[in-house]
Amino acid sequence: MRVFVTGATGFVGSAVVQELLGAGHTVLGLARNDAAADALAKLGVEAHRGDLTDTETLVAGAKACEGVIHTAFIHDFSQFAANAEFDRLAVEAMGAVLGAGQPFIVTSGTAATALLDPGHLGVEADAPPSGLPRIASEEATLALASRGARASVIRLPPSVHGEGDHGFVPTIIGIAREKGVSAYVGDGANRWPAVHWLDAAHLYRLVLEKAPGGARYHAIGDGGVPFREIAEVIAKRLSLPLVSKPPEEAPEHFGFLGMFVGLDCPASAKVTIEQLGWRPTRPGLIADLDQPHYF
């Protein structure tokens, strides 16, 4: 199958590209600039120039392929709502030009399920309240499915980890280096789910090949790692004090991550495993974090 992959040079997207190529699929990868196009060329992947703000180029990429995997997102949290709206428009534009039976996989996050109730175990059937920025893309995807498209959502946890990770955990490590302490919020018992990036990539391929559409799937390896355990590994590796911060000090200490580090947002992949036969096999977050590639 020829698959259009957005975010093809990103952390998750690059793993998805390698997974697809290894299974015999061909890839057309979205490239924002020359560096991204060159990186794709080295993999033998054709580059399609454009970005998430240009729906015409996204539509052209989708039309040129038999399926679409959408992993890209503009990760500027100072303009999160605006970037989520770009994402929704991208989903609607690409989905509108795909024929019946053509797979369309859209990426979302599990953390929003915690808004149903703090500490709630997020499951695939959960539908967080409308009006949340990234939930609009989920709703647009499932609306496409209701009209006969083979559209599905994959929710990723706050930590998608592995060598080359440049997400939340490396940012937290950088904050610890800068502040001279490794911190957690309150008692640090709040839980973050996680998945190894290669396990996540395998799930994208399974959904592409097997999922009928109209469902949400969870890429969850660790159902809930206490945040204090993450901070403990960072403290050990950097030889820094381990400290607790009260919730009101989290925004000052963690910056834009202040809204995330105290979330208690465990999640389950039970239905995903049962329906698709997906099995995460790579190291969990704590084992992976306690490796030199993170430091």
Instruction: Spell out the domain ranges in the chain.
Output: 2-160+194-221, 162-192+224-265+284-294
pTM across the whole model? 0.96
Taking only the tens place, the pLDDT of each residue in 59-103 is 999 999 999 999 999 888 778 889 999 999 999 999 999 988 999
pLDDT of residue 65: 98
| 151 in Cβ contact with 2 (< 8 Å) | no
pLDDT of residue 41: 96
pLDDT of residue 20: 98
Spatial separation of the C-alpha atoms in residues 104 and 108, rounded to whole Å: 13
Mean per-residue pLDDT for 210-217? 96
CA distances from 161 to 90, 97, 100, 232 (A): 26, 33, 34, 17
Tell me the pLDDT band of 134, cut-offs 50, 70 and 90.
Answer: confident
DSSP β-ladder status, 216-218 and 26-31? unpaired
Tell me the pLDDT band of 132, cut-offs 50, 70 and 90.
Answer: confident
Topology (CATH level 3) of domain 2-160+194-221? Rossmann fold (3.40.50)
For the chain, give the percent of residues with pLDDT over 70: 100
pLDDT at 177 over 80: yes
For the chain, give the percent of residues with pLDDT over 90: 88
Task: Identify which has the larger pLDDT, 80 or 136.
Answer: 136
